[in-house]
Amino acid sequence: MAVPLMQAVRVGRYVVKQHLTGRKRYPLVLMLEPLFRCNLACAGCGKIDYPAQILNQRMSLQECLDADAEAGAPVIAVAGGEPLLHKDMPQIIKGLIARKKYVYLCTNGLLLEKKLDDYEPSPFFSWDIHLDGDKLMHDSSVCQEGVFERATAAIRAAKARGFRVSINCTLFDGAMPERVAAFFDEVMAMGVDGIMTAPGYAYERAPDQEHFLNRQKTKQLFRDIFRLGKGKKWRFTQSPLFLNFLAGNENYHCTPWGKPLRTVFGWQRPCYLLGEGYAKSFKELMEDTAWEQYGTGAYEKCADCMVHSGYESTAVMDAVRRPWHIAKVALFGPETEKPMVPEISLANQRSAEYDYDAQVAQQMERLTTKGKPARGPRVRVNGRVADAVTANAAD
């Protein structure tokens, strides 16, 4: 079992409690991005296309702890950017673990061996290494040679120190099922504790827009991979029902609030993948976001999405409603031969809106004014808005 039993029990207890109390929307995993800066520039990433002033921003230790307190999720995934570039990351992880949160530190592995002494093994902590396939696949994905070898060396070093280690494997168009299956065999032999996998999301700012999978290709790819994995002991850190969904056997709609994201900008609306505005608090995010306007079938940008950040929570909630169903899928694996479930209609989806430049301009203005003396009350003088002090002088 890729997820430790105690973690599965505590998360399951949390989900059941939410259902019993009638809570409509609740987080399963807090996605925490204390910085956007990265030491790689992957062609499929849309997270690092910001001016230097923004890339230099960091969430403080207290801001990270406050985000946890606001959300109250049992699991926290700390990502970026590259989180190991954050000088306070050891303290952030230690503070979250002290609260008995299950923490996954997501990293490309390039700095991991250098930073290992800053961390201690814990049943509440796991390294989550970005590894998109075998050497050729991964180095191509991250647009730099030698990264696969450094990442796998880091995995071995972390395992030798007694850490739990999982991998995060994102797949793109052109991935060959046989190679992916062989890669899963390889990482299992390496001693990796679990695999998290999903198709890449088509970030609008990603340099490479040609290799993102549509939903039909995603389903066929994962169905072919899981067929090759029958009888093998691949360990996944994801719900069996999410894997069944990837193989085209569940007609799920996404649960975007299930994995809310806190960044240097605030709480990102509506989800980890789409940045279409920011809330100042978790409460505001939950209560003031027009959730019904997003998701496959509702919004053009969501049309091809099948990523765990939106659908894993749906699968977990379904497991609570249908425990016999998840037991069957967990025992026999995802269905690979029967017809796939019908696809969600896109006939009524609204058109995509593009406001990235406006958001960047807003954040740049915020940074420019940060640290300046606070303005007094604003009033209108001769048809123009001015500070109260200026207005009084004019009078």
Query: Can you tell me whether residue 29 is helix, strand or coil?
Result: strand
d(CA 234, CA 185): 7
Q: Which two tokens stand for residue 371?
A: 């640290």
In 10-143, beta strands by DSSP E: 29-32, 75-78, 102-107, 125-130
Residue 395: per-residue pLDDT: 31
d(CA 359, CA 107): 26
Strands 275-279 and 194-199, bridge-based pairing: unpaired
Has this prediction a pTM greater than 0.85? yes
Longest dimension (CA), the chain: 84
Q: What is the DSSP letter of 350?
A: B
Contact indicator for 134, 182 with CB cutoff of 8 Å: yes
Element (H, E) at 279: strand 275-279
pLDDT digits (tens, 9 = 90+) for 93-143: 999 999 999 999 999 999 999 999 999 999 999 999 999 999 999 999 999
pLDDT digits (tens, 9 = 90+) for 289-314: 999 999 999 999 999 999 999 999 99
Q: Which residue has the tokens 């967990």?
A: 330
Strands 378-381 and 384-387, bridge-based pairing: antiparallel
d(CA 154, CA 23): 41
pLDDT digits (tens, 9 = 90+) for 140-168: 999 999 999 999 999 999 999 999 999 99
Assign 375 a pLDDT band (cuts: 50, 70, 90).
very low
d(CA 295, CA 292): 8
d(CA 346, CA 71): 32
Q: What is the DSSP letter of 236?
A: B
Contact indicator for 190, 235 with CB cutoff of 8 Å: no
